[in-house]
Amino acid sequence: MIYKRQGNQTVVFENPPVILSSYSVVGPKEGKGPLGKTFSKVLPDSLNGNKSWEVAESKMLEAAMQGALEQSRLKSDEIDYMLAGDLLNQIISSNFAARTMGLPFIGLYGACSTMALGMAVGSMLIDGGFARNVLVGVSSHHDTAERQYRSPTEQGNQRAMSAQWTVTGAGSLVLAQSGTGPRVTAATIGRVLDFGEKNVNNMGGAMAPAVADTILNHMNDLKRTPADYDLIVSGDLGQVGLMLAKEVLKRSGVETANQFNDCGVMIYDSGQDVHAGGSGCACSAVVFAGDIMQKLNSKQYKRVLLAGSGALHSPTSSLQGESVPGIGHAIVIEA
């Protein structure tokens, strides 16, 4: 059997899976941002006709996954596994979407790194011969996240300048054994790192060391440099975390120049009052499913490194005074 592990943390796929299709659904705030025209569907409001924000989030995920499935031209019974995750307790958005989809379901939780994790696991299933086609999706919602992790929006609490705005949206894609489209060629599974940050309003700072560590290990494992990529993009470090990750990489001898950006920085503009930028599972998912996929399909990008970032805390751990552990998972996508 061929051993596909390379270096400390990276796997290189012998038969790289194809991204057949992608689909993104976002809320009105995201639709008004600089990437608004790249999303598949923009909702008129955060409830979208549903009785609660939580139901609205699950329905968004359903819509994104159905959209990706339809665009792939595959039938539902040709999908071997559905991989999905979100930010809510017991990943209820994904569980309820899976109830409707009726597919063999693997629930994943990597906080805001879940899209990159899902693409990595889905690619391993396909390259390992355990699946032909895999449907991957994630979701998040600003108001559901605020209600669970912070304070209900009705309280109108003052937000810290280092705080990020959870993206209301859902992103999905279909990975396939064969077909036409960009390919996932490698994945670097990250380690959980914790440098003692306890401020839940500074998730970018908490996640930055883990993302930088994953990028460094990826470069070392594959003997590459940032110049080998048209774009290195983190999931949702925001402005604070991106600055810190760049500094960590620079001090480690890796100069990223202009190649390193962040989905949380890209999705909103400075006039949208989001402070340090975007966050949430959907942040990297909708940016990748929209803008980045379009540039891969048009060959504007030939090789992209997507480094999903996740803050692995919970309301319970925060109330008990625990710090915020971080994780980063990276995947390589080539046109």
Please tell me whether residues 214 and 241 are part of one structural domain: yes
Q: According to the model, what pLDDT value does residue 158 have? A: 58
Please tell me whether residues 200 and 253 are part of one structural domain: yes
Cα of first residue to Cα of last residue in the chain, in angstroms, is: 28
Q: Over the chain, what is the mean pLDDT?
A: 94
Contact 287, 296 (CB under 8 A): no
166 phi and psi angles, rounded to 5 deg: -65, 125
Of 114, 144, 176, the residue that ends a domain is 176
Please tell me whether residues 13 and 69 are part of one structural domain: yes
**What pairs with residue 106 in β-bridges?**
83
Query: Domain range spanning residue 12?
Result: 5-176
Q: What's the rounded Cα separation, in Å, for the pair 128 and 187?
A: 14
114 phi and psi angles, rounded to 5 deg: -65, -35
Residue of 21, 144, 34, 114 lying closest to 73 (CA atoms): 21
Total number of domains in the chain: 2
Q: According to the model, what pLDDT value does residue 4 have? A: 93
Residue of 183, 175, 185 lying closest to 74 (CA atoms): 175
Please tell me whether residues 63 and 121 are part of one structural domain: yes
Tell whether the model's pLDDT for residue 215 goes beyond 90.
Answer: yes
Please tell me whether residues 236 and 134 are part of one structural domain: no
Please tell me whether residues 119 and 148 are part of one structural domain: yes
Of 149, 176, 203, the residue that ends a domain is 176
pLDDT tens-digit profile of 34-61? 999 999 999 999 999 999 999 999 999 9
Please tell me whether residues 166 and 198 are part of one structural domain: no
Mind giving me the DSSP string for 267-323?
A: SS-GGG--TT-EESHHHHHHHIIIIIHHHHHTTS-SEEEEEEEEE---HHHHHTT--
CATH, residue 9: 3.40.47.40
**What pairs with residue 333 in β-bridges?**
184, 304
Helix ranges (H only) for the chain are 28-31, 53-72, 92-101, 114-127, 142-149, 203-222, 238-251, 263-266, 281-287, 293-297, 315-319
Tell whether the model's pLDDT for residue 118 goes beyond 80.
Answer: yes
Please tell me whether residues 81 and 192 are part of one structural domain: no
Of 129, 161, 176, the residue that ends a domain is 176
214-233: burial string, b at 16+ Cβ within 10 Å, e else: bbbbbbbbbeeebeebbbbb
Q: According to the model, what pLDDT value does residue 153 have? A: 60
Please tell me whether residues 167 and 255 are part of one structural domain: no
